[in-house]
Amino acid sequence: MDDYHKTDDAEKTGSGHVEGAESGQSTSAAAGASSGTGTEELKQQVIKAVKTCYDPEIPVDIYELGLIYEIRVEPSAEVSVTMTLTSPACPAAMSLPGEVEDKIRTMAKVKDVKVEVVWDPPWDPSKMSEAARLQLGMF
């Protein structure tokens, strides 16, 4: 499993690891805990919003498909998403990243959004969650 998806597995299991929360937080334990909690809550809301986006050819949301490599929520409520598509020739190549950005941008607490599409590492079915594999009948 690559480094991108180690983060996703932590997010899906609710381990409490928050990408990006380490930098820019106060050194005060109370301030760090408060900021981290708010950041984690916003991150979970972002994940929920991203899970409403679907690849048009596969009836599974893009988060469970493993197309989202990283979601980073800064204490300033700026959100960065690193994602890929099933292939460079994906018919949704032009629309899906914009849909992800739009759904996150409409969230009340989000100050700014950046969505980056990457091709390395390339997506393959091993990046899907167990739930996605079950839904698609891939055991």
**What's the confidence (pLDDT) of residue 34?**
44
Confidence of residue 88 (pLDDT cuts 50, 70, 90): confident
Tell me which H or E stretch contains 52: none
CATH homologous superfamily of domain 3-135? Fe-S cluster assembly (FSCA) (3.30.300.130)
Residue-averaged pLDDT of the chain = 79
| Mean pLDDT value across residues 100-128 | 96
Kind plus residue range of the DSSP H or E element containing 70: strand 68-73
Whether the predicted pLDDT of 10 surpasses 60: no
What is the per-residue pLDDT across 16-39, written as a single tens digit (0 to 9) for each? 223 333 333 232 233 333 456 789
Per-domain boundaries in the chain: 3-135
